[in-house]
Amino acid sequence: MPNYDLTSEQEMLRNSIREFAEREIKPVRLEIDRNEEFSYDLTGKMFDLGLFGVTCPAEYGGHGMDYLSYILIVEELARVDACQAATVAAQNSLGIAPIQYFGSKQQKEKYLPMLCTGKKLWGFGLTEPGAGSDAGNSKTNATLKDDQWVINGSKIFITNAANDWTAGVTVQAVTGESDGRKEISCILVDAGVKGFTSRAMKNKMTWRSSNTAELYFDDVTVPGDNLLGKRGDGFKQMMQTLDRGRLSIAAMGLGGAQGAFEEALKYAKERKAFGKPISSFQANAFKLADCAVEIEAARGLVYKACWLCDQGRPFGKESAMAKLFASEVFHRVANHCVQLHGGYGLMEEYPAAKFYRDQKLLEIGEGTSEIQRLVIARHLECF
């Protein structure tokens, strides 16, 4: 029989993150969102709490936990604020993971301790202005000269990559051609290297207190040893990273849906119309019932995908399914949440509006819903 219980450690972890998010994040989430402020205070507290390097081995400064435990952390943060969840998810899944899984011993020793505990952040340089869904279409290039990589190009929409704590970025670059195909490799670039500049992207509709960057590489020169893994393996490294990363986006969908649902239920029980709480009208009660069912289904899918990952079994299809489903459940729940709030749902003083805006990113970031369907359809050998 499957066991649906979390371990007592996982329950304790969930409770402690919930308590932290309620105490520290909830009181400021709307204000920092309004001000588009990346919060060093909250990020520092999340470092102190051990929320970075969650699955990374202890010998590199990490906490050596299983993947489901990490996903519980992201879910609980997203229940209160997508932006703090994004800082944690991007650092663990996209900043730390490529170095953890593909880095040399020297690279791990150099970078991982500071990224796990040293209040330093690392970006995942995949997306470019002309290469989003078609992630293999990178124009950024790197040439090896005198055992040094010379990098030229640009990246866009890179989380955690333009703030005072950014220590660098993993850059996907075209490093040549072999057998008539582009050779793609990943290279580690430290912040502060000559020719590497970054700019925080402002005026976002969504994830406003998460740090999103545009990056420019103008003859950026780094040692040949900064190559991650083998030359030519870059695209596969990025894709494997996204297989895991999509689980954390799924967790954000799940946590966000849970948070929006709780706000909707609370409001619907308090708000009266025609002399009764609006939750007692069948049209509204059924909406809330549908939300509860969908969230439960999403939780099952997300946790099962994590369980497969923790078992060392293939999980790429399930991770795409979990990301697709949980982000679309969040879409429907956030929509109901605003609708149940009526006019107040349109006001930024209420969290409903923020849930509604923050949800949208999840159907686009780390692979659009269309790309998730493509990945699933390929697993089904539809074409």
Task: Report residue 381 as tokens.
Answer: 């050998």
Widest CA span of the chain, in angstroms? 79
**Interhelix angle 234-270/316-341, nearest 10 degrees:** 30
326 binds ligand CAA per the rule CB under 6 A? no
Q: Which residues in 48-77 contact ligand CAA (CB under 6 A)?
A: none
135 binds ligand CAA per the rule CB under 6 A? yes
Q: How far is the CB of 61 from ligand CAA (least distance, A)?
A: 23
Q: Which is nearer to ligand CAA, 316 or 345 (CB)?
A: 316
How many residues are recorded in the chain?
383
Q: How far is the CB of 110 from ligand CAA (least distance, A)?
A: 24
Q: How far is the CB of 203 from ligand CAA (least distance, A)?
A: 16
235 binds ligand CAA per the rule CB under 6 A? yes
Q: Are 64 and 55 in contact (CB under 8 A)?
A: yes
318 binds ligand CAA per the rule CB under 6 A? no
Q: Are 32 and 358 in contact (CB under 8 A)?
A: no
Binding piece for ligand CAA, criterion CB under 6 A, among 3-11, 168-176, 349-357, 370-378? 370-378
Closest CA to 240 of 252, 229, 251: 229
* 270-283: b (≥16 Cβ within 10 Å) or e: ebeeeeeebbeeee
Q: Which is nearer to ligand CAA, 38 or 235 (CB)?
A: 235
Closest CA to 228 of 346, 120, 108, 90: 108
253 binds ligand CAA per the rule CB under 6 A? no
Q: How far is the CB of 19 from ligand CAA (least distance, A)?
A: 27
Kindly tell me which residue out of 13, 17, 126, 340 binds ligand CAA, with binding defined by CB under 6 A: 126
Binding piece for ligand CAA, criterion CB under 6 A, among 27-35, 97-105, 124-132, 283-291? 124-132
Coil, strand or helix: which one is 382? coil
136 binds ligand CAA per the rule CB under 6 A? yes
Query: Binding pattern to ligand CAA, positions 151-170, x when CB under 6 A?
Result: ------x-x-----------
Binding piece for ligand CAA, criterion CB under 6 A, among 29-37, 61-69, 121-129, 250-258? 121-129
Task: Report residue 122 as tokens.
Answer: 């690392």
243 binds ligand CAA per the rule CB under 6 A? yes
Q: How far is the CB of 157 from ligand CAA (least distance, A)?
A: 5
Q: How far is the CB of 246 from ligand CAA (least distance, A)?
A: 8
340 binds ligand CAA per the rule CB under 6 A? no
18 binds ligand CAA per the rule CB under 6 A? no
128 binds ligand CAA per the rule CB under 6 A? no
Q: How far is the CB of 15 from ligand CAA (least distance, A)?
A: 27
Task: Give residue 236's Cα distance to chain centre.
Answer: 19
Count residues binding ligand CAA (CB under 6 A). 22
Query: Which residues 6+ apart lie within 8 Å of 330 measured at CB?
Result: 252, 253, 254, 256, 257, 260, 355, 359, 362
Distance, CA of 127 to CA of 172 (rounded, Å): 9
Kindly tell me which residue out of 14, 45, 204, 236 binds ligand CAA, with binding defined by CB under 6 A: 236
373 binds ligand CAA per the rule CB under 6 A? no
CA dist list (Å): 380 to 30, 306, 318, 372, 374: 42, 20, 12, 12, 10
In the annotation, is 22 catalytic? no
Helix (H) or strand (E) holding 15: helix 8-20
DSSP class per residue in 24-88: IITTTHHHHHHTT---HHHHHHHHHTT-SSSSS-GGGT-----HHHHHHHHHHHHHH-HHHHHHH
Classify burial at 214, counting beta carbons within 10 Å of its beta carbon; exposed 0-12, middle 13-18, buried 19 or more: middle
127 binds ligand CAA per the rule CB under 6 A? yes
Q: Which of 263, 328, 363, 366 is catalytic?
A: 366
Kindly tell me which residue out of 10, 221, 240, 339 binds ligand CAA, with binding defined by CB under 6 A: 240
Distance, CA of 344 to CA of 352 (rounded, Å): 9
Binding site for ligand CAA (CB under 6 A): 124, 126-127, 133-136, 157, 159, 235-236, 239-240, 242-243, 316, 365-367, 371, 374-375
Catalytic center residues: 366
